[in-house]
């Protein structure tokens, strides 16, 4: 089993794909699991367009399709997965009665150039990224391999309760992809939702049955449009989009002080105008809001919209806020945490099983968790230590591959446990 | 005649009063002209409350009333003039038929301490201001004396056409007083409107029959109100008026570029907040707009209001713009200019009579001129050189008093001219 | 004893004095303790001018001196205490050898109008403030009474180790007074430092031997000076202080995001300019910085100074930051906490003795604590519940006076404990 | 002659090239004039790198070289002209003694798509631009043809005084190219400098011997660099380049009010940052300053640099201002104006010869004029009406080609005049 897992992870690692262009990756999942699964749904059946902001351009999609075809991906799968809807949902049913349990695995890589030094194992062993400027530097390659291996094992031995739904989600980076699958309703009937992340600073052998401190977040693309004019001959006829955007930027950064909450606000980019002698008629802001509570995020959101509207009105601009990413600030359910801790006792290689670990970042699996919890179900997000030699999103990031079978064993143990234990 | 003129000017000079508190000054005018005039109207009969912004406080008014009484001003006049409405309109009718001609004379002094050096004639001759920090440093004392003397002469010899209306207006400084008399309609039936200013850099013996380049202006008091809160325990409950006012200040100063116009915008003051640890709930801006055309001023006004509204909305504030002063950018009518030039030829002491002189400042007689012109009448603003030893608004400002009879003679000559010549 | 305590507290409550004008209050302390103490130092002997910013104006000081004299305060004390240096340090020596232990009691009241309703005990019982707009609404009247009573008891029975130094400090509100006494070195040789606060939400009978979460803070008065100019005739000759101050205000409010720290920044006031038509040459900001760690406060301080300098340079302004208040974010020492807890066991009326209570506000006794700890000594800040019917700084604030003997007993018990127990 | 002129103009019109990529255009000039001229200098011999800001990218240059080669441009000329230095200086000596007279002709086209409607003569006649998105929409194609024809005629008949230097300058749009030729000293020894522009609203048959009101300008590329950081995990480690750039943008737009001058300032573009969750470490501004006097431009420049420096310092950024374009605000010399007017009398087709016409735009020939005047020489910029059916920089812009021989005749007449007449 381990070699099958490692082979797949390395194959995925070598061919990383950015969010919403994971055509070859998704096709690989389908190719392995379709023969053994009860059902496989993909593309627009499990994903809905939510916003244009985070989507690749037509040119980027065409390139990704071409590359996938060149690598031997079947034409029909490229057709189904090639327009930005790369999600896959695999269903495997157990022989015992029981509810639907979903697990989320994220498919995408990062826009980062992988290290090419002998000290970096993927380079030394020959499975470093072949795509310039794209790298699996967050461990999603491991996540996918775990999900696929878990599917193979569950399909081979159906001795478990209910139905397991493996959700392979695009574009976790930028917290964009869960929105599209949520819109397609893939977790609406789920009773148990489990998210998984490798690494996050935990050593090999340490697992955590839940996380705390996870931040709710929204990513916005703000577009302000005014009126261009010759800056010397008729400045008064212009409506200066960059002045409005600059005003909004300063105003937004005055907002995050909220007593009793941890909050963040960042205008990460401002782009507007083309030439020194023209009053610019368009500016775009990339904005991120974060808070450790939904209430605080809502406060920030409302205040931020008022700042953007007011700055636009001040300078005679129209404005538009497009949501390009979102994650929630969920709590993990005790029932799930207990079940995962119980399962961990049965997994070889687990040295320490923490009830909860801090996770100050954001992950859009929280949207699926929130959806399930809102419908009366339970959820948790578990961590599996991976002994990484470098932080996530670093050119030297890597996994100690021994974490892969450990994670599969842990999830399998939890899924095969009698229902009472699970809850 | 000259000694009567000079005596009155010196008496007024010694007792300067600020805008809307010219109680003793106005009472002096009434005291001299009421016995000879056909009609005298004053106080709320010739002035309407327009805005609170530029008015003195109740305490300042009480002080001014007390001072006027102490100086022997009759009780009934103090009652009529003592609540901020200090305007006086004197009517003198000629024996020949003709239209209504109005002349404006401004009553107020400046918040300035007069020089007390031997080189300063008012000090040397003992008629310097007896009111600390108040001074006739713009020549309005001369204007009033000219208006009174003109009234006396016209009353003594009624050989002129139509009716002459002498408008003694409060609060020209800050361009505030004309608004209140305009609101009372004192020029609604006027066919000819003449404004007069001494000095403005012209030498003694030079007069100008009109001005050009005069700037339209508005003065605003902007009040923004938010919500106070403890800056540490609950900053998010505050709506920060100073942040809104700072945003508006920067936004306003981006506006004045208008091709083809001379424009100005200034946020002359920003006052908000009381303590470092409180989110401030109130801020006040003093704003001035100027332009050399009405169209440009309207453009500025509209853009400025949008900036204020947008900045306020951005920070959750209510806002209010109070107009505290206004002047127009008028053109003088050729008919009046011709008539004044013709009259100048008959005045001893006039060395040079210019058709027009530049005047880059603002004067609210322009509002009365605009009103008359709008009703089909004609108007001009004339200048009489005064050989001043220092610029206007300076502690050493003074008039060469020989300008006073020259000005009276010139205005009288124009008013007594046959109608055909006038127009 | 209780009636003596209550009488003094009520007498102080009726005559509240604002920071640095506590002339009568300080003289009362001196009048009672001087006859029994080993030493009394006051005025400029225990206080140094640190900054002008937080000091009363000469007029306010003159008024306070006059009032104190009218109330019968001896001339010589008014002379010594009447120029803003109202601190008093009382020394009482024990018969046993030992180190110097200092206790801080704060003298000042708040600019607040006391409630005049029957439900408010000080009004009902006739000891409400006789000074309009000034009120002991933070319990400092109780603190002073406790300090004086403690002094009387220790002087009456010298059975304790070392020397006790009672530090009566002006102007705790605004965290201003400790700076002046620190500059005079009053705690330089102290080995144990104890601060005390009544109330803070704790019920009567509950005490806390230490606090946590106390915020370090600095209060700044920022003055920016430019160049005035006529806003229409020569705007380019001006250097616009309000534009600089507005820029700084927005810039400062972008600073407080610091991961891992609780921080606050507020521009509580901006005042600049006098008239709409003048480029303003002066603006003043009142700024507050807070952080729950010294490191975070230092980060904020450095960044804030850069923002102020940069905004000033941008607009051609000179700038000055005056520190007008400061408090630290100290940790209480276990040895002192243990000693206070041990002493609490011997005090009748103590129902619950907490090891630590949260205190999210700031108090400048922390500066004295930090000074002592820096010299190798130990320190704590203890709380005594007062069952207050309204929050601090509220017109209905009051103390359940049973807290007063309890506090005296607790402090006395701690001071009389054998040295070993103390540490 | 006319058909030679028109043929060349149409050939140039069909193959427009953007600033600094005028390889084929310059080679065409060289190809025609080299056989008859006394000297031809080109490329880096007449142009020096001044700043990278306005230069094409290596990719754009490679494309331009490839295109020129495809069109049959000789390899050696592509080599000499193909790295962004496309200027050409042609020298033709007369038989009479005399000083050096230089004439400037600009080579570049605009990034604009030419109209393809039958009403547009270049389209109808088949010589519209074959380069998508590039168009001679300012008449420079005509300028070049005039310069070449003038060279041919002077070379054919050497009966004129001194030496004529034809300066073919790249990149007048954006006022960039004159800087590079100025740096190479091409006008250092020139005594007479003549600039020419077709069109500018004048009808065919009208010429102007000078211009007034021309605006001095500078174009800046401002780069601010800070420190990137994770916006949530460590915002305090970032130095936020977009906050600095936004602050600078607002500050810059507060500057242009200068009494007595016409001024403009525009931040035409702001580009910074890449992702919502990263503190951006780089921002770039495109800024334009204009003024109708050198003194006012210097005032603006100094104030603008202070704003940029202060905003950068406020946010911990490094900054750099690169000059990417510049033009001066020169006065034309009476001697040259007189000479051109005298010459105009001898030119058929000249209906009206104006002494001066207004020109509110900017042109970098003014830098060469200023250089010549600074060395004691004289200069003017002349206009030749072209009866254009649409304004400059418009897709329907065109020339009435009868203006071409008229312009050549006028310049030739001026150059062949006896020296006394010239001056």
Q: How many Å apart are CA A219 and CA D277, to the nearest integer? A: 8
Give the per-residue SS3 of B39-61: EEEEHHHCCCCCCCCCCCCHHHH
Q: Which of these, B187, B175, B210, lies nearest to B323 by C-alpha position?
A: B175
Contact between C254 and A250 using a beta-carbon 8 Å cutoff = yes
Question: In a 3-state reduction of DSSP, which class is residue C218?
Answer: strand
Q: How many Å apart are CA B352 and CA B355, to the nearest integer? A: 10
Contacts of C232 in chain D (CB under 8 A): 259
> Residues 89..148 of B with a Cβ closer than 8 Å to A: which?
none
Q: Which residue blocks in D228-293 are alpha helix, DSSP H?
A: 241-252
Specify whether the CB–CB gap between C369 and C193 falls below 8 A.
yes
* CA C234 to each of CA B212, B362, D256, D282: distance values in angstroms, whole numbers, following the listed order: 19, 15, 12, 36
CA D142, D148, D151, D155 dihedral sign is negative
Mean pLDDT, to the nearest integer, of A381-394?
Answer: 92
> Within its chain, how far is the Cα of B90 from the centroid?
18
Give the angle C336-C342-C347 at the CA atoms, nearest 5°.
120
Who's near A412: CB < 8 A, 6+ residues apart?
A150, A153, A154
The token pair at B263 is 């424009």
End-to-end CA distance of chain A: 29
Question: Is this complex scored with an ipTM above 0.95?
Answer: no
> Within its chain, how far is the Cα of B26 from the centroid?
15
Contact between A288 and D277 using a beta-carbon 8 Å cutoff = yes
Specify whether the CB–CB gap between C190 and C101 falls below 8 A.
yes
* CA C313 to each of CA A259, B328, C159, D307, D375: distance values in angstroms, whole numbers, following the listed order: 33, 37, 62, 7, 37
Q: How many Å apart are CA D19 and CA D60, to the nearest integer? A: 11
Q: Which residue of B has its CA nearest to A248?
A: B314
Closest by Cβ to A247, choosing from B251, B258, B316: B251
How far is it between the farthest Cα atoms of chain B? 79
Mean pLDDT, to the nearest integer, of B53-59?
Answer: 81
- List of chains touching D (3+ CB pairs within 8 A): A, B, C
Contact between A265 and C257 using a beta-carbon 8 Å cutoff = yes
Q: How many Å apart are CA B170 and CA B325, to the nearest integer? A: 12
The token pair at D85 is 């230095």
Who's near B404: CB < 8 A, 6+ residues apart?
B2, B5, B6, B9, B142, B145, B146, B149
* D211-212/D192-198 β-pairing: unpaired
The token pair at A389 is 């030699």
Q: In a structure prediction context, what are the per-residue pLDDT tens digits for chain C, which is 423 residues long? A: 689 999 999 999 999 999 999 999 999 999 999 999 999 999 999 999 886 557 898 999 999 999 999 999 999 999 999 999 999 999 999 999 999 999 999 999 998 889 999 999 999 999 999 999 899 999 999 999 999 999 999 999 999 999 999 999 999 998 999 999 999 999 999 999 999 999 988 999 999 999 998 999 999 999 999 998 888 888 999 999 999 999 999 999 999 999 889 999 999 999 999 889 889 999 999 999 999 998 999 999 999 999 999 999 999 999 999 998 999 998 999 999 999 999 999 999 999 999 999 887 789 999 999 999 999 999 999 999 999 998 888 889 999 999 999 999 999 999 999 876 554
Q: How many Å apart are CA C321 and CA C333, to the nearest integer? A: 33
CA B198, B203, B205, B207 dihedral sign is negative
Token pair 């006529």: residue = C230
Interface contact C254, partner A, CB < 8 A: yes
* CA A130 to each of CA A20, A93, A142, B66, C305: distance values in angstroms, whole numbers, following the listed order: 19, 37, 17, 93, 49
Q: What is the DSSP letter of B302?
A: H
Q: Which of these, B150, B53, B135, lies nearest to B105 by C-alpha position?
A: B150
Please name every residue paired with A225 in a beta bridge, in sequence order, or none if there are none: A282, A318
Contact between A257 and C250 using a beta-carbon 8 Å cutoff = no
Who's near D128: CB < 8 A, 6+ residues apart?
D13, D14, D114, D115, D116, D120, D122
Contacts of A324 in chain D (CB under 8 A): 276
Q: What is the CA radius of gyration of chain C?
A: 23
Q: How many Å apart are CA D158 and CA B341, to the nearest integer? A: 63
Q: Which of these, D220, D414, D246, lies nearest to D315 by C-alpha position?
A: D246
> Residues 300..359 of D with a Cβ closer than 8 Å to C: which?
303, 306-307, 309-316
- Mean pLDDT (chain B, rounded): 94
The token pair at C357 is 């209570």
The whole-number pLDDT of residue A420 equals 61
Contacts of D315 in chain C (CB under 8 A): 251, 306-307, 310
Q: How many Å apart are CA D320 and CA B70, to the nearest integer? A: 67
Q: Which residue of B has its CA nearest to A245?
A: B251
Interface test with B, best of A314, A315, A317, A319 (most B CBs within 10 A): A314
Q: Which of these, D361, D365, D353, D357, lies nearest to D414 by C-alpha position?
A: D353
Specify whether the CB–CB gap between A243 and B254 falls below 8 A.
yes
The token pair at B224 is 């923004």
Q: What is the DSSP letter of A227?
A: B
The whole-number pLDDT of residue A230 equals 84
Could you report the per-residue pLDDT of A211-254, keeping only the tens digit for each? 998 999 999 999 999 998 888 888 999 999 999 999 999 999 99
Q: How many Å apart are CA D410 and CA D344, to the nearest integer? A: 6
The whole-number pLDDT of residue C163 equals 97
- Kindly compute the dihedral angle of the four CA atoms of residues C30, C31, C37, C43, in this order, to the nearest 10 degrees: 20
The whole-number pLDDT of residue D413 equals 97
Q: How many Å apart are CA D40 and CA D74, to the nearest integer? A: 16
Contacts of C283 in chain B (CB under 8 A): 270
Specify whether the CB–CB gap between D121 and D398 falls below 8 A.
yes
Contact between D258 and C236 using a beta-carbon 8 Å cutoff = yes
User: Greater confidence, A230 or B70?
Assistant: B70
Contact between B247 and A243 using a beta-carbon 8 Å cutoff = no
Helix H or strand E encompassing D278: strand D278-279
Cβ count near C387 (within 10 Å): 17
The token pair at B69 is 């009484």
Q: Which of these, A411, A423, A389, A404, lies nearest to A137 by C-alpha position?
A: A389
Could you report the per-residue pLDDT of B343-356, keeping only the tens digit for each? 999 999 999 999 99
Chain C nearest CA to D74, separation (Å): 53
The whole-number pLDDT of residue B148 equals 98
Closest by Cβ to A306, choosing from B248, B258, B313: B313
Contact between D235 and A267 using a beta-carbon 8 Å cutoff = no
Q: What is the DSSP letter of C45?
A: G
Q: How many Å apart are CA A108 and CA A135, to the nearest integer? A: 9
Average pLDDT for consecutive 10-residue bins of chain D (423 residues)? 92 97 98 98 93 78 95 96 96 96 97 91 97 94 98 97 97 93 96 96 96 93 92 90 98 95 96 91 96 94 98 98 91 96 96 92 94 97 94 91 97 89 51
* CA C43 to each of CA A179, C80, C81, C172, D157: distance values in angstroms, whole numbers, following the listed order: 68, 6, 5, 16, 102
Who's near D66: CB < 8 A, 6+ residues apart?
none
pTM for the full predicted model: 0.86
The whole-number pLDDT of residue B394 equals 86
Please name every residue paired with A161 in a beta bridge, in sequence order, or none if there are none: A96
The whole-number pLDDT of residue A76 equals 96
Mean pLDDT, to the nearest integer, of A41-65?
Answer: 88
* D88-93/B216-225 β-pairing: unpaired
Q: At what angle do helices B23-33 and B2-14 cross, to 10 degrees?
A: 160
Q: How many Å apart are CA B291 and CA B293, to the nearest integer? A: 5
Who's near A215: CB < 8 A, 6+ residues apart?
A262, A264, A290, A291, A292, A327, A329, A360, A361, A362, D232
CA atoms within 13 A on the CB side of D201: 6
Q: Which of these, B262, A277, B256, lies nearest to D327 by C-alpha position?
A: A277
Q: How many Å apart are CA B93 and CA B100, to the nearest integer? A: 9
Could you report the per-residue pLDDT of B116-160, keeping only the tens digit for each? 999 999 999 999 999 998 999 999 999 999 999 999 999 999 999
Interface contact B57, partner D, CB < 8 A: no
The token pair at A104 is 């989320």
Cβ count near D125 (within 10 Å): 10
């Amino acid at each position: 089993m381990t070699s099958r897992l490692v082979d797949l992870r390395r194959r995925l690692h070598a061919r990383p794909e950015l969010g919403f262009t994971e055509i070859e990756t998704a096709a690989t999942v389908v190719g392995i699991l379709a023969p053994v699964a009860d059902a496989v749904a993909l593309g627009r059946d499990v994903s809905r367009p939510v916003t244009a902001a985070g989507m690749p351009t037509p040119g980027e999609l065409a390139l990704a399709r071409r590359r996938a075809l060149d690598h031997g991906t079947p034409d029909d799968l490229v057709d189904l997965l090639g327009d930005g809807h790369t999600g896959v949902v695999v269903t495997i049913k157990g022989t015992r009665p029981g509810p639907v349990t979903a697990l989320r695995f994220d498919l995408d890589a990062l826009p980062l150039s992988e290290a090419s030094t002998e000290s970096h194992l993927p380079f030394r062993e020959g499975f470093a990224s072949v795509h310039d400027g794209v790298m699996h530097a967050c461990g999603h390659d491991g996540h996918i391999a775990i999900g696929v291996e878990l599917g193979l094992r569950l399909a081979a031995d159906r001795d478990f309760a209910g139905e397991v739904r493996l959700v392979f989600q695009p574009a976790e980076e930028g917290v964009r992809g869960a929105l599209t699958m949520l819109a397609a309703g893939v977790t609406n009937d789920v009773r148990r939702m489990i998210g998984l992340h490798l690494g996050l600073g935990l050593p090999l052998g340490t697992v955590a049955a839940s996380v705390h401190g996870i931040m709710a977040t929204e990513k916005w693309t703000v577009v302000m449009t005014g009126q261009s004019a010759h800056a010397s001959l008729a400045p008064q006829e212009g409506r200066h989009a960059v002045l409005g955007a600059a005003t909004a930027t300063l105003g937004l950064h005055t907002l995050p002080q909220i007593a009793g909450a941890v909050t963040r606000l960042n205008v990460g980019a401002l782009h507007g105008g083309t030439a020194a002698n023209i009053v610019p008629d368009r500016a775009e802001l990339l904005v991120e809001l974060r808070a450790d509570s939904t209430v605080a995020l809502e406060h920030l959101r409302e205040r931020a919209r008022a700042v953007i509207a007011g700055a636009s009105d001040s300078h005679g601009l129209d404005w538009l806020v497009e949501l390009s990413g979102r994650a929630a600030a969920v709590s993990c359910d005790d029932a799930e945490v207990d079940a995962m801790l119980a399962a961990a006792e049965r997994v070889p290689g687990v040295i320490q099983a923490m009830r909860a670990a801090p996770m100050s970042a954001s992950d859009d699996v929280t949207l699926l968790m929130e959806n399930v919890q809102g419908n009366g179900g339970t959820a948790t997000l578990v961590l599996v230590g991976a002994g990484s030699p470098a932080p996530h999103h670093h050119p030297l990031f890597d996994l100690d591959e021994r974490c892969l079978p450990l994670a599969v064993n842990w999830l399998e143990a939890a899924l095969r446990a009698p229902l009472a234990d699970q809850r």
